Amino acid sequence: MSAPEKATQAEIAARVKAIESIMIEKGLMTTEAVDRLAEIYENEVGPQLGAKVVAKAWTDPDFKKRLLENASTACAELGIGGLQGEDMVAVEDTDEVHHVIVCTLCSCYPWPVLGLPPNWYKMPQYRASLVRAPRRVLREEFGYDVPDSVEIRVWDSSSELRYWVLPQRPAGTDGLSEDELAALVTRDSMIGVGPTKAAA
C-alpha cells in the first residue's frame, strides 16, 4: 500500500472516530451500541459467513454446483443473504484461471458473504489500476504473485451483479472438517487479492 493510501486510511479512521464521539456525546448512540455494531460485523455478518459457504462448497460437490449456478440461492440454503446479496455470482478459481473482483463505478460488494468492504476496495486507484494491470496490482499492492501461466480475470461488480471468488481448496486439507476449512478462508481470497491460509 502506498504512503498516500495509508494517509487516506488514517484520515478516514480519524473521521470515523470523531463522528462516533459526537454521536455518543449528543446522545444519538451509546458506546455499547457502537460496540454491538462492531461485534455484529465481526462475528455475525461478514467474511466468516463467506468462509462457511466456501468450506461447504469444498466438501459438497452438489452444493458447489448450486453455488456456481446461483450463488444467492445457494447461500440462502445456509441462512445467508439479505441486503447487497440479492444477485451474487460466485466465480471459481482453478489451476488455469484466477479471479479478482472490483467495482469500477463505486464500491458494489457482496456484503452478506464478505462483510463491509475494506477501504482500499473503494479507492479510485484500486478501481482503475486493477482493470488495467491486475497482475502488477496483485503483486505490488498486495504481495500476491499469480504465476504468469495462470490467466487473471477481473470481474466488475455492479448494483445488479455482485461477484465474489470461490478460491481453490488448499493442498493437504483432505482430513479437515468444514469448520477447520472455513478457518483457512480469508476475505482477501474471496475478493481475489490474496491467498487462503495454508493448512497447519
Give dist(CA 142, CA 37) in Å, integer: 28
The answer to whether residue 106 is catalytic is: yes
Three-state secondary structure call for residue 114: helix
CA angle 9/11/24 to nearest 5° reads: 110
Give dist(CA 21, CA 16) in Å, integer: 9
Give dist(CA 130, CA 126) in Å, integer: 6
Whose cell is 487479492? That residue is 193
Which one is catalytic: 21, 72, 75, 106?
106
**Residue 29: Cβ-neighbour burial (10 angstroms; 0-12, 13-18, 19+):** middle
**Other residues' Cβ atoms within 10 Å of the Cβ of residue 84:** 17
Residue 92 Cα distances to 1, 23, 52, 107, 165, angstroms: 27, 42, 16, 21, 6
Which one is catalytic: 21, 72, 75, 103?
103
The answer to whether residue 108 is catalytic is: yes
Which one is catalytic: 21, 72, 75, 108?
108
The answer to whether residue 2 is catalytic is: no
The answer to whether residue 75 is catalytic is: no
Catalytic positions are: 103, 106-108
